[in-house]
Amino acid sequence: MSYKQTFFWAVDNFLNERQHSEHIKEAAMWITKGEVVAFPTETVYGLGANALEETAVKKIFEAKGRPSDNPLIVHIASVKQLDELVTDIPPLAKKLMDHFWPGPLTIILKKKESVATSVTAGLDTVAIRIPDHPVAIELLKQANVPVAAPSANLSGKPSPTSGEHVFHDLKGRIAGILDGGQTGVGLESTVIDCSKGIPILYRPGGVTIEDIEALVGEIKVDPSLKSTDEAPLSPGMKYTHYAPNGTLILVRDRKQIPSLLAEAKAEGKRTGVLTTKDNQGSYTADVIVSCGSRQDLATVANQLYESLRTFDEEKAEIIFSETFPAENIGIAIMNRLEKAAGGKVI
Ligand code: TXA
Ligand code: MG
């Protein structure tokens, strides 16, 4: 499927309320007509379609080039919509929803028949969240259907954190993009399975493990998040996401980076470094990208995907990246960096 035109609807602060709602209405109309549109959330941009309509959902997989065995997240505007999607809400799931929704936490529950089969890739469970973004909520209300939406990038590329990123990846492949500027968290939501007794964390994200355990006590963590020998429990986690075109290598001891850069340079490679503003001045490379500040890891999360995209734009052939402490949001940052590096850590 290709589109002659991909609409680009601005929904930023420069417009008045009436223009905002006109643009959101138009995007919602495309969703009700069974088409796919991209929209901002507080995590990353999503690529949405009516979750109850098989043919609409299939267009998402087609536009992204996403493997069909990788299920999607269903976005809703209100917990009232859960009734038509899931068979049962365990008390613990309810507690998580009450506390973290709207927000970057996706909860997996046992699904009802109404959910399109391709949304769940044939599984008997469905992943759901209420996003914390006024444009997303307004779109969901206007469309008046649950909206299945993965991140709005081409499969294998970093998730989009701006309307431009979506345009770059999906222009001509989707009906339109609601451009709400830069997203907040910058990494995808935390994914937790509440359909199997004790909750299991599949993907670390904006809501941290520490936050969740403070509320509900100890949870299980998918063993594949700790050891690469284990196969992931969630289908999507087995794919190498977010890989830049150049070779990305994570370097635990950043003092080694200057000599690694010198070696790569001597081999004639176009070099890159992913650092933060704290250490920016300590390297010589063709492409130096500073990603937030170590004093506040939320800024690193916010800028990580944009930074990875810069290396592609600047055609870096080999990229050395600093690592971050694996605690709180640092766990999600390291998870995405390890995936982007395909496990190359020295
Ligand atoms: O922040 C986010 O979560 C963004 C925004 C748009 O909401 N969406 C997003 O979707 O990151 P996506 O498709 O890129 O990631 C969904 C993840 C995948 O790893 C998928 O395998 C997992 O959730 N997932 C979805 N349904 C599942 C299910 N029933 N069982 C296990 N894993 C599931
Ligand atoms: Mg994704």
What average pLDDT does the segment 318-346 reach? 95
Q: Per-residue pLDDT tens for 139-172?
A: 999 999 999 999 999 998 899 999 999 999 999 9
pLDDT at 203: 96
The preferred substitution site among 225, 234, 237, 241 for testing ligand 1, maximizing ligand atoms within 8 Å of CB, is 234
Q: Over the stretch 87-132, which tens digit does the pLDDT of each residue have?
A: 999 999 999 999 999 999 999 999 999 999 999 999 999 999 999 9
Q: What is the 244 CA–ligand 1 centroid distance (Å)? A: 21
Ligand nearest to the CA of 45: 1
| Mean of all residue pLDDT scores within the chain | 94
Give per-residue pLDDT as tens, 291-302.
Answer: 999 999 999 999
| Rounded CA separation 52/198 (Å) | 29
pLDDT value, residue 240: 63
Q: Output the CA torsion 194→196→202→204 (10° steps).
A: 40
226-259 per-position pLDDT tens digit: 877 778 888 877 766 678 899 999 999 999 999 9
Pairwise CA distance, residues 205 & 188, whole Å: 6
Measured from the Cα of 111, ligand 1's closest atom is 29
Distance 189 CA to ligand 2 centre (A): 10
296 Cα–ligand 2 center, Å: 24
Nearest ligand to the C-alpha of residue 188?
1
Q: Is the pLDDT of residue 3 over 90?
A: no
High-pLDDT (> 70) share of the chain, %:
98
Point out the ligand nearest to the CA of residue 203. Answer: 1
DSSP 284: -
- Atom number in ligand 1 closest to CA 191: 23
- In DSSP notation, 102-154 reads SSSEEEEEEBPTTS-GGGTTT-SEEEEE----HHHHHHHHHHTS-EE--BSS-
204-217 pLDDT, tens digit per residue, is 999 999 999 999 99
Query: Of 52, 136, 126, which Cα lies nearest the Cα of 101?
Result: 136
Return the half-sphere exposure (C-beta side, CA atoms, 13 A cut-off) of residue 17: 1
Q: Residue 12: its pLDDT value, please?
A: 73
Q: Is pLDDT above 80 for 304?
A: yes
Contacts of 29 (CB under 8 A, 6+ apart): none
| Integer CA distances (angstroms), 112 to 25, 51, 100, 337, in order | 28, 12, 23, 35
Report the alpha-carbon distance of residue 183 to residue 200 in Å, rounded: 27
Residue closest by Cα to atom 24 of ligand 1:
71
For the CA of 43, the closest atom of ligand 1 is: 1
What pLDDT is recorded for position 10?
Answer: 83
pLDDT at 166: 97
Q: How far is the CA of 301 from the centre of ligand 2 (A)?
A: 15
Percentage of the chain with pLDDT > 90?
A: 84
Per the document, the length of the chain is: 346
Choice among 183-197, 234-248, 258-272 with the minimum mean pLDDT: 234-248
**Residue 179: which H helix or E strand, with range?**
strand 176-179
Query: How far is 77 from 128, CA to CA, in rounded Å?
Result: 11
Is the pTM of the predicted complex or chain greater than 0.85? yes
Q: How far is the CA of 242 from the centre of ligand 2 (A)?
A: 8
Q: Please give the single-letter amino acid code of residue 236.
A: G
pLDDT of residue 129: 98
Q: Out of 57, 112, 191, give the residue to mutate to test ligand 1, the one with the largest number of ligand atoms within 8 Å of its CB.
A: 191
Domains of the chain: 7-226 (3.90.870.10), 247-341 (3.40.50.11030)
**Residues near ligand 1 (Cβ within 6 A):** 41, 43-44, 46, 70-73, 104, 106, 108, 120, 123, 125-127, 131, 149-151, 188-189, 191, 202-203, 234-237
Q: How far apart are CA 69 and CA 49, in angstroms?
A: 17
Residue reference for tokens 């959902």:
57
CA of 284 to the centre of ligand 2 (A): 33
Please tell me whether residue 318 adopts helix, strand or coil conformation: strand
Query: What pLDDT digit, counting tens, does each position of 6-49 carry?
Result: 888 888 766 677 778 899 999 999 999 999 999 999 999 999 99
Question: What is the model's pLDDT at position 13?
Answer: 65
Q: Residue 335 has what pLDDT?
A: 95
**Model pLDDT, residue 44:** 98
